Every structure is written in C-alpha cells, then in structure tokens.
Amino acid sequence: MKKIVILTGAGMSAESGISTFRDSGGLWEQHRVEDVATIDGYERNPRLVLDFYNERRRQLPAVEPCRGHYLVAELERTFDVTVVTQNVDNLHERAGSSHVIHLHGELMKATSTLSPNDPSQIIELSPDNPDIHIGDRAADGSQLRPFIVWFGEAVPEIERAAEEVAQADIFVIIGTSLNVYPAAGLIQFAPPETPVYLIDPKDVPWQSTHRFHHIKKGASEGMEELMRILKIEN
C-alpha cells in the first residue's frame, strides 16, 4: 500500500468557517500575536490568553469538517495516510482521519505551564466544559494552559512529521503559505522522486527542487481534483 503524507494549513479549516490568522479579517487583526500567541504574552496577561482560546474552543463544536477533510479521510481506503497539520482544531479527526500529527498543538487539550510537552500533564477538554480558568491546576500543580505551540516555542512533533514525510510515496500540501517554519521545511525531507501536489487557490512561493503539481483551487475542490488524478472514485 502506497504511503501518502498530507500537510494541511489554515486554508484547510477556512472552508469550515474557522478564521485564519494571516488573511484579511483574520484573528491577527483583532489581537496582536505578541499578546495571545507567545509565552511572554501569556506571562504578562494569562487571563487574556486563556479567554482568547476559551472563545475559540466554545466555537469549535459548531464548526463542521469541510468536504476536503472528508476526502482526506477517504484516502485511507486506498492508501496508508498520515496527516500532518498546522491547525489546532480537531476537524481531521472528526472527518475520520485516524493518523493525525498536530504540529502546533490541539485546541481541545490543556497542559501544564511548567512542563507543557509532558504527556502525563496533558488533559482532554470536553465540549460541555471547554474553558480553562485562572486557578485550574495541572497534575504537577502549575496553572493549566492551552496545549498550543506558541511562537518561539519548540515544535516537539516536527521530527516525527519529518520521519513520515521521508517515507512518503506521494506528498500533498493543502492550504498553507509555506512561510511558517519549521513546517515549511518538511518538503526537504520528501524523497527526490516523490511527486508533490500543492492545493491552494493562490500563488505560493516554491523554493524546493522537488517537482510539483499546483492545483489552484480551494481545499475541497482541490481534493476532488486530486482524487481524479489518483483515479479514486468518491
């Protein structure tokens, strides 16, 4: 069974109605990156940061996976599929994907401020009780914080993602600007002979020697075209 690795970015979830950070009208226009997505911002004003992610968490159950999410999951009928996502939502899992690596953390989880990447400190939050409050404690006694990889923090899953890409027979990139590192560097781990399919309606700067096929469509329409290219009925 051939192995497909799919790297997804904000453009994937945008079709489900989740605001992107970089596009016009996105979340970054309402909040400064330094205030809500850095450890310094969290230390300065933890309540602001907790409220920011609490609000996003409350909105998530009302959002449904898009057609593209479901088509990615459908690929598992024919291929060995690993999804590597820069998104912190759970839409890939809800659409049925069974092997998802979250590079930037998971919105529906909380962890220790002291040891955020310690698996023993990570807890799952429920849609019925999604908020983290000042005074909520992790198992080690420290304040619970969002299980999110903030700017400037290490990306603990990047090595596992690189190992998956290195084994890929086909590499698919959906809805990412390829400007955010280290995720953008994953293409360099793909074997030279591995075909790369880039699904994005916009022009994307391509700085790799890998040959690639640009499907200039959104996530859902682009995935439908990819299924036709791979000759998969859906």
Residues labelled catalytic = 104
Nearest to 52 by CA among 67, 40, 41: 41
Nearest to 109 by CA among 86, 135, 127: 127
Q: What is the dihedral of CA 29, 116, 107, 153, to 10 degrees?
A: 30
Encoded tokens for 33: 């990156």
Encoded tokens for 105: 């953390």
Question: Strand runs (DSSP E) across 117-211, as ranges?
Answer: 123-124, 144-148, 170-174, 196-199
- Could you tell me if residue 226 is left (phi over 0), alpha (psi between -120 and 50 degrees) or otherwise beta? alpha
Q: Which residue has the tokens 């911002």?
A: 41
Contact 69, 187 (CB under 8 A): no
Nearest to 148 by CA among 105, 113, 109, 103: 105
Distances (CA, A) of 74 to 15, 79, 154, 227: 18, 9, 32, 10
